Structure 1
Amino acid sequence: MGLETEYGVTGRLADGTVISPDDVARAMFRPVAEQYGSSNIFHPDGSRLYLDVGAHPEWATAECTTIDQLAAFVAAGDRIIDGLAVKAEGSLDFGGDGATIWVLKNNVDSVGNSYGAHENYLVGRDVVIKRLGALFLPFLITRQLICGAGTIARPGAAYPDIDESCFVISQRADHVWEAVSSATTRSRPIINTRDEPHADSSRWRRLHVIVGDSNMADDSLRLKIGSTLLVLEMIEAHAAPDGLELTGSIEQIHTVARDTTGRAPVHLDHSVTTTALAIQRAWCDAAGRWLDKRPEPDEGKGTPTAQLKAIHRLWTTVLDCLDSGDLTPIAGSVDWVAKTKLFDAYLDRGLTLGDAKLARLDYAYHDLRPGRSVLQALTDRGRINSRVSDSAIQAAIDAPPPTTRAAIRGRFLRTADRLGAPVTVDWMRVKLSRPEPVAVELPDPFATESAAVDELLEHMARHFPAQ
């Protein structure tokens, strides 16, 4: 599994002049382009760092096999992206004195542009995509209840259908209009079906989920990924609960986003009407039964059952709180709940959701910069749970996951950098460009060693003595 995160950027000069996102992004990626000759690279930890369309820096984590691993590599990306912003603030692009850059890990800007946090899961090629979609869609439509990032929706380009400001539990929900499609931008679907497995296509497919929010709270990220892993495992094992199929309209995802109680109606197949909370409860209960009999994966081949049981306990707690209406116990775990608690203090003073102060607070929650980040301030005060240590994040910056082919990719990149060898890599292959092109494919995402790559490294060492 892996996660792709797009970031929003903006900036100001010392005199208050606004710096365009294009100029901010170019300044951030200038040292990357100078070092590697491209603004689209693979980092030595096996992840992909690049400048996406629309001036969005993007970090796509290396392939990970556990939730703990993935959480660390997501956090590593946040630090690396913010580090690029820090360097850009003092660069000659802005005179070297007084530029301030904001990097926001959110999903919608003030003029209606939406950018995503795409999830990637490896599933067996024998899974029928139509059946998977029918079972998976009701879960994804309602998953925002347990891990949405939340935002204040304001009348305008981003939310043309509302007359006054309101709170929504998901930033991405209103920007999704299809269930399953090969598109990712014009008509955003919940599940992207473009068949790019990035692995042996006879064995696996890559399930590309593009409906989720970018999470700031560590528990929200873990709950998003862990609950989805459990649902996919149950579908593959034919252990999914009955009666939760959906093949029709998914526009009710917008209705679910506007209801913080979880009791918004959801219409399933066969004229069945239920609620968002009931769908999540059905999947959560089924996951508890699945975990009692789940085969433990081989070491390095998947998330241990103990990690998933911890996710299941959190999932149950969140649903219990939603059911009771007392959200205080989960304010440190669920992004949208944490935000409502922040906003309530201002609303009690007579402000409204349309007030500019709350808009600034909404964005500040997603600021990556220590010292400015509202999320970091809440974490430091013990109000937001954090389970990723600084040492785990630094380890993820320094080295790839040892349990996937990212370990091979990282070793290849570090060796090439030491030798000064001209190379290119992508998710499935590594390549030496000269003196004659030599490429090695890596179709197994779980492979951590490759004799062919070892031979290529020896070949590189002969032609490019260490510098």
Structure 2
Amino acid sequence: METRIIGVETEYGVHTVHPTKRPLAPDEVARYMFKPVVSWGNSSNVFIPNGSRLYLDVGSHPEYATAETTRLDELLALDAAGDSIMHMLVTQAQQAMAKDGFDGDVYLYRNNADSLGNSYGSHENYMIERTTQYRRLTQALLPFLVTRQLIAGNGVVIKDPAALPLADQFPGRSEPHFAFSQRADYMHEAISSSSTRARPMINTRDEPHSDSTKYRRLHVIVGDSNMSETTQLLRFGTTDLLLRIIESGKPLQNLQLAHPVRAIRQTSHDLTGQTPLELADGRTMTALELQEFYLTQAQEFLARQGPHHEHLEQIMDLWSRTLDAIASQDYSSIDTEIDWAIKHKFMTAYANKNNLDWDAARLVQLDMSYHDIHPQRGLFNLLEARGAAARVLTDAQVQAAHDNPPATTRALLRHRFIETARAMGMDYSMDWMHMKLNYHPLHTLYVRDPFETDISIVDELFAKVASAGH
């Protein structure tokens, strides 16, 4: 596949603090956040002008799903715009809450778990061709995803290992420590058609949001909600590259894991990457060895095929440097580019300065603060502002992504439809494939091709409605 559609869905955690009164529950705050959305969109599930989807998910989690895109820099920009849009909704919500007498502080976190043990995700979507052997692909990809946390984990302070989900089934380190991944301990299955009850690493529900005779959607649920743009570039870029290797028909060694759910936990809690993981054939390999194998396969593939986008040199360099840093246990070469290393550097320095152990409540608080999306308060954003976290994007790219869709997908049509309908004062509704004028049901666009960019079909629809006297 020369060009691939990629998107990402981000669920946010909500928390409120009030010094004297009972704080509002997350679902109450979420309703305040989405009140202006409902007022103009007649729903808490809407598409916005940049082609992305904004909605309240199960459990009243604010969620943002990027528009379809074919470029990694556009994907990162659309995703960053989601944080900015969510922050705007929080700001408006706090103002409305204050008028109603609820004047506490609202925090919106881009992370994967709260203090009550609730988990929420960052889900990746990769378009694959229907002719691809789906079972072969998912099985081949799974060991990579289990160990991908070495290069794309957020890092997390584990204050009480015994309190982690399924800790009785998967006993590991008993002392407080720092781990690679927030998400790893919340995975219950390797592959499943459910995304909430079973919480698998790969969701197999066949929901392509496109021409189902040509395409299928690979729905990856196992990823951490990254703050770092460079980590995101590595996360999406390496996964796309592994998919291309598998799709090319190149046989990979049989590296199927005997116990993926156990392996993902074992990997997360060992910053050396050296814990032996049991393979289905009885052999063992470490997480570091598995990632080094995939890196070598990618290098050989690119040597034969050549690069397919402009970020590959940066991705391959960072992938290699991250594995070298883990092998040497010297993270200084990646501690501005990889989320877990950025967080580990700050946390370690703070703990040493204040003589704290990993079970200190203050370190857990700082861990949460790292994921606060508030631009002037969130720890990651403060580190980025002082140059302690590298960037891929410019502020101008993120700002442009607030209102503008990718130019290479049907998100362009969605943008045109929304803008025209609003200008003409017409009620509308849409999903990923349909665009409908509510009072003109016969005038509905059905766009199955995610690569469709001809906006004239939108203009023609509105011209017909206008000539009929809407």
- Measured after TM superposition, the shift of residue 12 of structure 1 is 2.8
- Partner residue of 1:429 out of 434, 444, 448: 434
Name the SS of the counterpart of 1:90 in structure 2.
helix
Q: Quick one: distance in 2 between partners of 1:286 and 1:246?
A: 18
Quote the Cα distance in structure 1 between the aligned partners of 2:135 and 2:259: 12
Give SS of 2:288's match: helix
* Residue of structure 2 equivalent to 1:301: none
* Stretch of structure 1 that moved more, 94-103 or 67-76: 94-103
The residue aligned with 1:300 is none
Deviation at 1:66, TM superposition (A): 1.0
**Residues 224-233 or 122-131, more deviating:** 122-131
Post-superposition offset of 1:242: 2.3
The letter for the 1-side match of 2:347 is: F
Identify if the C-alpha distance between structure 1 residues 125 and 246 changes in structure 2 by more than 3 Å, giving closer, same or farther: farther
Q: How far apart in 2 are the matches of 1:250 and 1:110?
A: 22
How far off is 1:150 after superposition? 1.4
C-alpha contact (below 8 Å) 1:90/1:99 kept by paired residues? no
The answer on whether the counterparts of 2:210 and 2:449 sit within 8 Å (CA) in structure 1 is yes
Range with greater deviation from structure 2 (453-462 or 400-409): 453-462
Match of 1:184 among 195, 211, 219: 195
The one-letter code sitting in structure 2 at the alignment partner of 1:461 is: A
Aligned 8 A contact 2:146 2:260 in 1: no
Residues 259-290 of structure 1, C-alpha deviations (whole Å, 9 max, x = no match): 11111212223222111011111111111122
Letter in 2 for 1:272: R
- How far 1:94 moved relative to its partner? 5.2
Residue range with higher mean Cα deviation, 5-14 or 281-290: 5-14
Note if 1:411 corresponds to 2:416. yes
C-alpha contact (below 8 Å) 1:89/1:96 kept by paired residues = no
Query: In the alignment, which of 6, 14, 17 is matched to residue 11 of structure 2?
Result: 6
Alignment RMSD (CA, Å)? 1.9
Amino acid at match of 1:277: L
Kept after mapping to 1: 8 A contact 2:97/2:103: no
Please report how far the alpha carbon of residue 457 of structure 1 lies from its aligned counterpart in structure 2 after TM superposition.
2.1
Aligned residue in 1 for 2:3: none
- Whether 1:288 aligns to 2:303 is no
Deviations 1:165-219 (A, max 9, x none): 3322111111112111001111111110000011111111000000000000111
CA positional deviation for 1:436: 4.0
Give the stretch that moved more between structures: 436-445 or 72-81.
436-445
Amino acid of the structure 1 residue aligned with 2:158: A
Confirm or deny: 8 A CA contact 2:230 2:391 kept in the other structure. yes
- Measure, in 2, the Cα distance between the counterparts of 1:165 and 1:18: 30
Where does residue 373 of structure 2 map in the other structure? 368
Alignment-derived partner of residue 404 in structure 2: 399
C-alpha deviations, 1:380-412, integer Å up to 9, x for none?
111100121111011111111111010011111
| Distance across 1 between alignment mates of 2:175 and 2:99 | 38
CA distance in 1, matches of 2:105, 2:469: 42
1:98 positional shift: 3.7
Mapped partners of 1:436, 1:201: distance in 2? 24
Aligned CA distance change for structure 1 residues 252 and 66 (closer, same or farther; 3 Å): same
Q: Does the CA-based 8 Å contact 1:14-1:100 persist in structure 2?
A: no
Judge conservation of contact 1:13–1:94 (CA < 8 Å) in 2.
no
Q: Distance between the aligned counterparts of 1:169 and 1:141, measured in 2? A: 12
Alpha carbons 2:257, 2:279 under 8 Å: kept: yes
Question: Could you tell me how far apart the structure 1 residues matched to 2:464 and 2:18 are?
Answer: 49
Q: Secondary structure at the match of 1:50?
A: strand
Match of 1:206 among 217, 226, 229: 217
Aligned-residue offset at 1:452: 3.9
Q: Which range moves more in the overlay, 448-457 or 44-53?
A: 448-457
Match of 1:274 in 2: 285
Residue 345 of structure 1 deviates from its aligned partner by 1.9
1:241 CA drift (Å): 3.6
Deviation at 1:377, TM superposition (A): 1.2
Structure 2 partner of 1:230? 241
Moved more, 413-422 or 5-14: 5-14
CA contact (8 A) 1:135 1:246 kept: no
Separation (CA, whole Å) in 1 of partners of 2:469 and 2:236: 42
> Are residue 319 (structure 1) and residue 318 (structure 2) matched?
no
Match of 1:299 in 2: none
Question: The residue matched to 1:23 in structure 2 has which SS?
Answer: helix
| Aligned partners of 1:124 and 1:203 also within 8 Å | yes
Task: Tell me which amino acid in the other structure corresponds to 2:318.
Answer: L
Contact 2:433-2:448 at 8 Å conserved across structures: yes
What corresponds to 1:215 in structure 2? Answer: 226
Q: Give yes or no for contact 1:246–1:268 (8 Å, CA) kept in 2.
A: yes
Structure 2 residues without counterparts, runs of 5 or longer? 1-5
Distance 1:435 1:130, change over 3 A: closer
2:73 maps to a residue whose letter is D
Q: Please name the residue that 1:356 is paired with.
A: 361
Aligned partner of residue 454 in structure 1, secondary structure: helix
* Residues 23 and 104, structure 2, Cα contact 8 Å, conserved in 1: no
CA drift at 1:364:
0.4
Where do 1:67-82 residues align within 5 Å?
67-82=72-87
**Aligned pairs (5 A) from 1:241-260:** 241-246=252-257, 249-260=260-271
1:331 and 2:342 matched: no
**What's the offset of the Cα at 1:48?**
0.1
Q: Tell me what 2:63 maps to.
A: 58
- Distance in 2 between the 1:220 and 1:74 partners? 13
Q: Secondary structure at the match of 2:205?
A: coil
Distance 1:131 1:227, change over 3 A: same
For 1:149, the aligned partner's letter is N
Query: Which residue, 343, 348, 352 being the options, matches 1:344?
Result: 348
Matched, 1:167 2:178: yes
Structure 1 stretches of 5 or more lacking a match? 297-303
The one-letter code sitting in structure 1 at the alignment partner of 2:332 is T
Quick one: distance in 2 between partners of 1:136 and 1:400? 30
Amino-acid identity (%): 43
Paired position in structure 1 for 2:109: 104
Structure 1 residues 245 and 455, CA gap change in structure 2 (3 angstroms): same
Deviations 1:122-143 (A, max 9, x none): 0111111111122101000000
Cα distance, 1:159 vs structure 2: 4.1
Distance change in 2, residues 1:252/1:347 (3 Å): same
Structure 2 vs 1, CA of residues 106 and 94 (structure 1 numbering), >3 Å: closer, same or farther? Answer: farther
CA contact (8 A) 1:182 1:194 kept: yes
Structure 1 residue matching 2:402: 3-state secondary structure: helix
Q: TM-score, normalised by structure 2?
A: 0.93
**Is the counterpart of residue 377 in structure 1 residue 382 in structure 2?**
yes
Which residue of 84, 88, 91 corresponds with 1:86?
A: 91
